[in-house]
Chain A
Amino acid sequence: MKKLAIAGCRVAADRVPQALRFVLSALSFVALACNTLPVGYDQLHDRVTGTADTTLLPDSAASYARYVPLGGSSILYLGQDTSYMSRIVLRFSILDTMDLDSITSFQLVLHQPDTLATMSFVCHPCSSEWTESGVSWQMADSFNRWPTPGGDFLPDTLAAGTMLGDSAVFDFRYVGFDSALRANIRDCGIGLFPQDTGIVAIYAGTGTISTATAPRLRVTYTNKGKQTQRVVNDVADASLIDTVATHSQPYDLLVGSGVAFRTWLSFNTDMIPPEATIARADLKFKPRLKYHRADTIELGAYRLTESFTQKGANARYESLPSAYAGYLVPADGDTVVTIDIRSLVQSWVNYPETLWTNRPASDTTLPDSLRNHGLLITAWPEWSALFRFRIPRSGPDAPRLDIQYVLPPEDRFK
């Protein structure tokens, strides 16, 4: 047995270097198979037509502001500071058949994400109907303006108090009003007006998954001699936001949310061959931050489908952005915004301006919307947390478009 064991050990010892050699050979084999060295590329060299890098600066740039509906937001803003003022409009589906005599309390309940924030406010009934999808500082819905910008309200005070902690409950006057005013509250909703300086965020009922933090009315009443509570969540809510001061010059390029600031940029891409494939198209700029209430700013780049030079702020653009970018607000303010607009540039390159300039006047097969009308940089979405920044028009921080494109290869057979 001992001899056998010794013999076995000898065999194993002899095999160690052999096994090691095998492993090394296998590893080198795998390394050769995995590398990307340019062996054989010369065989295709006469088929490679080339690539190019180019940097474009905007031919034209402009900026404009728009009051946009903010009803889709999950956060409502209430307050006023040196840049913005914001009110809140809410609407509840209150049953008018409720036996008002049995009601013992009627309360407005609000929740806020920042438990340290405080804000005194007063609540008035709205005097005009509005829609969540269309309401803004200027508009009651998509077609009708408020008679007074910022909304029309009745002088009656429904509630007053101070927002404090994660949620606050305010006594709400409803029972004591006459039926006409109660109907007005049901149909037109209520408005919350800030009384202090500063802006607080309040959870909205729409745009959120959970209804637990939605603005609500809590009704306590006696039913068959028993105290009963009913909660009425809001059915519509929105912030009405206006700017107090933009702290900017008239020709500044601004991008912002709340009151939407949009910047239009136009790049001439006609020097890129139409058959090129855009491998990279990065729109870069270094913004000067003016205002922000969140550390992450989301931006969208939209393709314009109408001429901005002809229609200005009314020029249409695509409903969905061609590219998105997140901008993490840096501590040193030295971060460059980079938006990958490869697909956008590819479409501009595919439809060069010569297609329109060289066609007969009677030819209408090519829609005008395919032309390179430039792009809009906006907040995405525009009801996101309030921010505003300026894009320098010139200098190293101004917008530039870094493009890398590839020309198609020659055929295998020429």
Chain B
Amino acid sequence: MQTENCRLRSRGAALTPRFAFCILISAVTSSVHAQSFFNSRGLGEVSPAGEARIAGLAEPSALSTLNPGIFVGPNQTSFHVTALAAAALGTQGSNTRLLRDARPGAFGMATPLPLGTRLFGGINQKFGQDFDVWSESLADTAYRRHIIGRGGIYALRVGLAKSLFDKVCIGAEYNHLLGGSRENWRFETNTGDYTSTDTIEVDYSANTFKVGGSFQNRTFSLAAYYEPPLNLGVRRYKHVHGVIDDTTRFYNISLPQSYSLAAAISPTDRVGLDLGLTVYPWHDATITRSDTTLPLGYRNVWRGSIGVEYEIDSLHPVRVGYSRQTWYYDASHNVSGYIIFEPVTSPITENNIHLGTSVPIPKFGTLDLSGEVLLRHSEFLDEVAGRLMLTLSYSEAWTRRTRRWGY
């Protein structure tokens, strides 16, 4: 009888798979979009892992499926698909402007193989380059520019993980990075004509490996992964509208290694504490063009996070987290406003609040939800971004959750 009651309660609180899918699709196709006013520089912002459950815990990425060695226990096929919606409110001086964006966030799947191994793969965004800015709009200026950037760098991942002693996992994955950005430079004359003057398309491609591992038991987990230096091939195609000859250039961007660490502690059955640290020592990043190598001027930065998960009951976990990071490139500012001076740069710092929960979907998996408020600050430009992530997952990756919902 008690079991029957539990089943009924579970049905009442849960979403049907069809309804969950509808929410996911509507989020993907909504008019809201993920842009940043800072994305026009560098390679763009480092994108989140693309898992709402991890986002709710302040993104300790070593605990996400970005870590090829995270698959310790489960022996069933799993997948997750994420939709991301974001809005960014930028403030510079007395001006405020909102950007919106929506796109698919990530897709990942894993399937067991014999001998305690596991084959996994997925797609996720590594860098986002979406932005939309206007130049001066004062009444006494004769013309304005409008620059729209769309694109990013994506990783196609496939890897193999090996579980050892049901508590340890090591894994390696091959990443094929590809993607591109398209910047459309538009020009509005003082007579109101609005013309596209230039289009800059940049294609990226690279191949790299990633290794990771984790140790997990009932009360304590430790995870880490390492990404070796990355050589990113870049092809830039500049189309100057109206001009007959377009130009193509090739670059090679060399990014140093990065690594991520995370620890999870469960002092009680209902409470979990997650700590994360990701380090990007990218000061020595360089760009090579025509045998000339120049520094990109990036920074050595880190991202730290702390997140707490609390189970209100066995079906309703809530997550809250805080993270802080400095971006690997600086924001720019033109001091004069009118005369072209050497721009002043300042670091971009980010303080984030993360919230999340999960809704079980009977006989399927879960719908994880997260909401994040990202407070980005540079000396002259501030940005408040909101990010909503929905992950539909049929995942056995996290043993603790597997037991909780009993699949």
Contacts and interface: CB of A to CB of B under 8 A. Distances in A.
Contact of B381 (A40, A350, A404): A40
Contacts of A51: 143, 187
Nearest to B44: A412
Contacts of B145: 41, 48
B332 A275 contact: no
Interface string A269-303: 00000111111100000000000000000000000
Contact of B334 (A42, A279, A346, A350): A42
Interface string B245-259: 000010101000000
A216 B198 CA distance: 57
B234 interface: yes
Interface stretch (B51-59, B93-101, B160-168): B93-101
A53 interface: yes
Given A37-B134, A40-B40, A409 B381 contact: no
Contacts of B189: 279-280, 404
B97 A35 contact: yes
Contact of B198 (A40, A41, A408): A408
A412 B200 CA distance: 9
Given A279-B195, A280-B193, A408 B238 contact: yes
Contacts of A279: 143, 187, 189, 193, 195, 197
B98 A29 contact: yes
B146 A36 contact: yes
A275 B243 contact: yes
A277 B242 contact: yes
A138 B297 CA distance: 75
A85 to B, nearest CB: 43
A32 B386 CA distance: 15
B340 A45 contact: yes
Given A36-B146, A277-B240, A411-B200, A42 B97 contact: no
B20 interface: no
B97 A406 contact: no
Given A39-B95, A43-B37, A279-B143, A33 B100 contact: yes
A38 B134 contact: yes
A38 B240 contact: no
A408 B246 CA distance: 11
Nearest to A370: B244
Interface string B50-75: 00000000000000000000000000
Interface in A397-414: 404, 406, 408-409, 411-414
Interface in B178-195: 181, 183, 185, 187, 189-191, 193, 195
B113 interface: no
Contacts of A45: 332-334, 340, 343
A42 B183 contact: no
Contacts of A53: 142
Contacts of A40: 37-38, 40, 90, 92, 97, 131, 133, 381
Nearest to A53: B142
A156 to B, nearest CB: 61
Interface residues of B, number: 62
Given A45-B340, A412-B202, A38 B92 contact: yes
A409 B185 contact: yes
A290 B343 CA distance: 57
A166 interface: no
A51 B96 CA distance: 26
Contacts of B183: 409, 412
Contacts of B135: 38, 41, 48
A38 B134 CA distance: 5
A43 B38 contact: yes
A368 interface: no
Given A33-B98, A38-B95, A408-B240, A43 B253 contact: no
Nearest to B191: A280
A98 interface: no
A36 B134 contact: yes
A52 to B, nearest CB: 11
B374 to A, nearest CB: 15
Contacts of A39: 37, 90-92, 95-97, 133-134, 381
Interface in B230-276: 234, 236, 238, 240-244, 249, 251, 253
Contacts of A29: 98
Given A38-B137, A279-B187, A408 B197 contact: yes
A114 interface: no
B311 interface: no
Interface string A11-54: 00000000000000000010011011111111111101011010
B41 interface: yes
A88 to B, nearest CB: 44
Interface string A179-221: 0000000000000000000000000000000000000000000
Contacts of A43: 37-38, 40-41, 131, 133, 331-332, 381
Interface string B143-175: 111110000000000000000000000000000
Contacts of B147: 44, 409
A275 B333 CA distance: 27
Given A38-B134, A343-B242, 17 more contacts: A32-B96, A37-B137, A39-B96, A39-B381, A40-B38, A40-B40, A40-B133, A42-B333, A45-B332, A45-B343, A53-B142, A277-B198, A277-B240, A277-B241, A280-B193, A406-B197, A413-B287
23 contacts: A32-B96, A36-B144, A37-B137, A38-B95, A38-B134, A38-B136, A39-B96, A39-B97, A39-B381, A42-B343, A43-B133, A43-B331, A276-B243, A277-B197, A277-B242, A346-B243, A350-B243, A406-B198, A409-B147, A409-B183, A409-B185, A409-B198, A411-B238
Please give me the 3 A-B residue pairs with the lowest Cβ-Cβ distance, nearest first.
A40-B37, A37-B95, A32-B98
